[in-house]
Structure 1
């Protein structure tokens, strides 16, 4: 498949938004004119019609013909991938914990930095930096947060994202996914089934807080849990009425599988496939396999770009994601900073969803190619590219952190966390010691590598 094969002209986003807004305003206006009952009937009919159209979209996607270049079973994915180095290490490396700390604490730093400006445009972020006289691209955490004091992710607060205010890795779904992977492995082992994974998710993830109004999960993950609540069986719940099957979300869950299979990218990708297939398809799944394999390979190489090259060997070579990653490497000489990267990606995928697996994966690639082993440049440039930039910066930081080890991550990115992370999963306490999590991943890594 080639990128030119997916050309389309989408309905203008704001046109649809305005239509929904007009419905709300007309309903209010009708009530003011004494016609509330009739307005409610119109709204109910509108909702019913929209529900039917969404069902039609779901049917359209679910019955789409198979794409030979983008297979959906693990066996077919293996058949479609290029030749590669499937395993780099026979056992857990002696420096595992140093690399793991660099990766997890690095992930926390990248996520925290990006969360302050998530989904902001390049121009908005630059203006933000000028407003508060911040160095840009950022070389440290932001000193100010939007909507200060607002709740986030059930137990957190936006003030936790500010330089000088944080005392632990602030809570986020992107860090919770690393923990849910650990819990899944501890409870069910690497042979976990969709039903077992679903049970672990249901028991642990709060969807929404009635107390403070914050959400615990978004997009396809929220839809998956809501479908489970409605009694849909796990093997269908992740895809039913889910337009996010090629989103970035699944590959924010990738790190746990790389941690559990250090130096064994093929196994990390296999575990990632099982996880992502729960509620993603095609490039949404490949993105997770690619990132998990990159994290895994990072435990065995000295250059982050090499980890990306090895990871590319674990996904279908003609898929849109693989084609995009190869393109990013090919044009990297044209990219001198975040602006070049953002411009080139937006030109190549002009209508792609801001949370798509592909465009965001290329920001990770460009960030790593720009910064190499320079952790600060990698996270700063990646955040500055925009889109889902807490996810992209977290993953880029994780790959670099595992490559260079904690001792080579500048201390100002990790010392504010004081070796702790905040959590909202129900099976775990609100505050966790990073070293304790590391020891638990060591046990899982020994278990997984010992099964060879």
Structure 2
């Protein structure tokens, strides 16, 4: 029988032991009880979805409740607050506003199209190798004489033994390898910005977290969400309200999911990183806490700055200006920026990132945020160099590629993006969201522009 992954209590507990330890909670007593009963304490790489022995399952639920009830130590809560007012109070000053007249700025339409297009390109580039580690990506490319990465992935010329050792993402390869691309296939990295677009069109820029929950339940199939989003979706179905949806049996609460949802909130608040970050916080708290929420806030703020011009470095600084400066998230982003400026060869810099964050799950927000910051900094606005660096870095390849592509595309504008990356998209995005399947990137940009100008479709 097929089981829904990422929600089975034994798997969740293994991940929760890691998450609670990261939070500074005591976990050894729970780990001992679990392993003595025959449970596996090693966190699975993916959501296995096997319920296992009923007795172990019941114990896992009990232990998850126990870990949920343990408070985060005050020193962690102080430097990494959850409450929006506390987050804003932790900042050294108000984020800089870049005054933009969205109705008159002649470059804004092209930058918004560039943002949507860059996001789609980066996502599509990373899709075939999602879940393949960095060393596997390099071996695939070297075996084909295509290292370093400078083009779409392809199965042509790949030796069978390497293909067996590093299999493509089965869901993605049929539509995301060079020989198969015919438009942009469905992906959560694109579904979520489209969902946010529809949300703001319907509810306005002052939407509430409950509105986000309603939008999920009305238009987002449960099988199209993963990790923290899938747990939050389950919690909604169980009758939980936000922000409890983000914390009940949710060990993925500081993973990357909220960070991939936030671009639209920046695009509709051009030049205003604080407003973009507040909208992203409102969305993110449905499924995430602390560093998971900061990822959404930083990306929204960076996107708000990117569509006003300037550089990718300006966008990153705008993003950093809205997150608690003593948080682990800010530290991770600063590390990525420092390595991008260091002059180290890319592989040496990636080694440094892995030395600091290589122990984390490939979907965690901290390692992926550091990688995104590094790729943007070292790429210096060049779309190809930036997304290729992001993807060859491993971890969550399609999500980091999408975020990096979004910022680069917004700064450059659509007209400046290389046609060899844009043409295969065919100006068509597939989606299971009602009303969005087959939509053009130009239509998405037009609808976003209407919101940025204070109106609706």
Higher mean alpha-carbon deviation, 163-172 vs 396-405, is at 163-172
Separation of aligned partners in 2, 1:248 and 1:5: 16
What corresponds to 2:375 in structure 1?
Answer: 367
What stretches of structure 2 of length at least 5 have no aligned partner?
1-21, 43-51, 157-162
* Contact residue 334 and residue 340 of structure 1 kept, 8 A: no
What corresponds to 2:98 in structure 1?
Answer: 88
What corresponds to 2:360 in structure 1?
Answer: 352
What corresponds to 2:48 in structure 1?
Answer: none
What corresponds to 2:448 in structure 1?
Answer: 441
* Contact residue 122 and residue 339 of structure 1 kept, 8 A: no
Matches within 5 A, 1:105-254: 105-133=117-145, 135-144=146-155, 152=171, 158-208=173-223, 216-254=224-262
TM-score of the aligned structures, taking structure 1 as reference length:
0.83
Matches within 5 A, 1:320-359: 320-334=328-342, 336-359=344-367
Higher mean alpha-carbon deviation, 264-273 vs 69-78, is at 69-78
- How far apart are residue 403 of structure 1 and its match? 0.4
- How far apart are residue 218 of structure 1 and its match? 0.4
- How far apart are residue 322 of structure 1 and its match? 1.5
What corresponds to 1:405 in structure 2?
Answer: 413
What corresponds to 1:78 in structure 2?
Answer: 88
- How far apart are residue 432 of structure 1 and its match? 0.6
Q: Cα distance 1:259–1:415, how it changes in 2: closer, same or farther (>3 A)? A: same
Separation of aligned partners in 1, 2:367 and 2:134: 15
- How far apart are residue 51 of structure 1 and its match? 1.8
* Contact residue 82 and residue 314 of structure 1 kept, 8 A: no
> 1:58 is matched with which residue: 65, 68, 71?
68
Q: Cα distance 1:52–1:338, how it changes in 2: closer, same or farther (>3 A)? A: farther
Separation of aligned partners in 1, 2:362 and 2:25: 16
**What CA deviation, in whole Å up to 9, does each residue of 1:74-118 have, x standing for no partner?**
111111112354310232132112111111111111111111111
* Contact residue 108 and residue 308 of structure 2 kept, 8 A: no
Separation of aligned partners in 2, 1:74 and 1:234: 14
Separation of aligned partners in 1, 2:93 and 2:169: 49
Separation of aligned partners in 2, 1:439 and 1:46: 52
- How far apart are residue 63 of structure 1 and its match? 5.3
* Contact residue 127 and residue 169 of structure 2 kept, 8 A: no
Which is higher, the Rg of structure 1 or of structure 2? Answer: 1
Q: Cα distance 1:263–1:55, how it changes in 2: closer, same or farther (>3 A)? A: same
Q: Cα distance 1:160–1:46, how it changes in 2: closer, same or farther (>3 A)? A: same
Separation of aligned partners in 1, 2:118 and 2:85: 33
- How far apart are residue 350 of structure 1 and its match? 4.5
Separation of aligned partners in 2, 1:320 and 1:184: 30
Aligned length: 409
**What CA deviation, in whole Å up to 9, does each residue of 1:312-354 have, x standing for no partner?**
1111121111122223333434453442233212222353232
Q: Cα distance 1:293–1:162, how it changes in 2: closer, same or farther (>3 A)? A: same
TM-score of the aligned structures, taking structure 2 as reference length:
0.82
What corresponds to 1:37 in structure 2?
Answer: none
Separation of aligned partners in 2, 1:408 and 1:311: 24
Matches within 5 A, 1:289-304: 289-304=297-312
Q: Cα distance 1:143–1:437, how it changes in 2: closer, same or farther (>3 A)? A: same
2:99 alignment partner, SS class: coil
